[in-house]
């Protein structure tokens, strides 16, 4: 994993590739409400960032400056400035946000909302929910998403439905 250009981490969550921050990776720690910052050249945790009550899914902005983190117990999306490790904002979501993804062009952050059975599309320029897509079944999740072969697109999958 050393010196990798695109880092993928699975800590109960599938992340978007962190191409802009090639030497760092991020892992959510649900129990203590933090994000571990991992130096992939040394294979060690170098710092910790406070990220709400129960951070789950994450996606880095296309420029690598921000990290979007679903906070499951607070029903919010936390926006973290990676240069300082501080909160840049919060967006209210539905009940139990889970997986987070990012569009290849960085325009959208997509969040699967488990209890509301929907996927929210957040405009990264405005920081607002632009639209919602209701899904069949229960528990949409990007943790078990279907990705295109190039990795350019991700579609959340329902764990209790065929969609």
For residue range 23-49, list pLDDT tens digits in order: 888 899 999 999 999 998 889 999 999
Residue 56 CA to residue 29 CA, distance in Å, equals 8
Could you give the domains of the chain?
A: 24-158 (2.130.10.10)
pLDDT at 14 exceeding the cut of 80:
no
CA dihedral for 23, 63, 114, 147, sign (positive or negative): negative
Among the listed residues 81, 161, 76, the one whose alpha carbon sits nearest the alpha carbon of residue 122: 76
Q: Is the separation of the CB atoms in 80 and 39 below 8 Å? A: no
DSSP character at residue 106: S
pLDDT of 140: 55
Q: State phi, psi for 124 to the nearest 5 degrees.
A: -70, -25
Residue 145 CA to residue 82 CA, distance in Å, equals 25
Q: Is the separation of the CB atoms in 101 and 154 below 8 Å? A: yes
Two tokens at 69?
A: 């983190």
pLDDT of 81: 95
Q: Work out the mean pLDDT of the chain and round it to a whole number.
A: 76
Q: Is the pTM of this model over 0.85?
A: no
Average pLDDT, stretch 118-130?
94
């Amino acid at each position: 994993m050393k010196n990798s250009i695109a880092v993928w981490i699975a800590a109960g969550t599938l992340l978007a590739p962190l191409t802009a921050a090639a030497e760092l990776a991020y892992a959510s720690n649900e129990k203590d409400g933090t994000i571990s910052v991992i130096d992939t050249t040394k294979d060690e945790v170098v710092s910790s960032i406070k990220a709400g009550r129960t951070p789950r899914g994450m996606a880095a902005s296309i420029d690598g400056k921000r990290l979007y983190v679903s906070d499951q117990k607070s029903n919010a999306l936390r926006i973290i400035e990676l240069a300082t490790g501080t909160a840049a904002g919060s967006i209210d979501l539905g009940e139990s946000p889970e997986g987070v993804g990012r569009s290849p062009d960085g325009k959208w952050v997509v969040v699967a909302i488990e209890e509301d059975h929907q996927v929210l599309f957040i405009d990264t320029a405005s920081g607002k929910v632009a639209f919602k897509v209701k899904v069949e079944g229960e528990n949409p999740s990007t943790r078990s998403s279907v990705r295109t072969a190039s990795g350019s697109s991700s579609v959340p999958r329902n764990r209790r439905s065929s969609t």
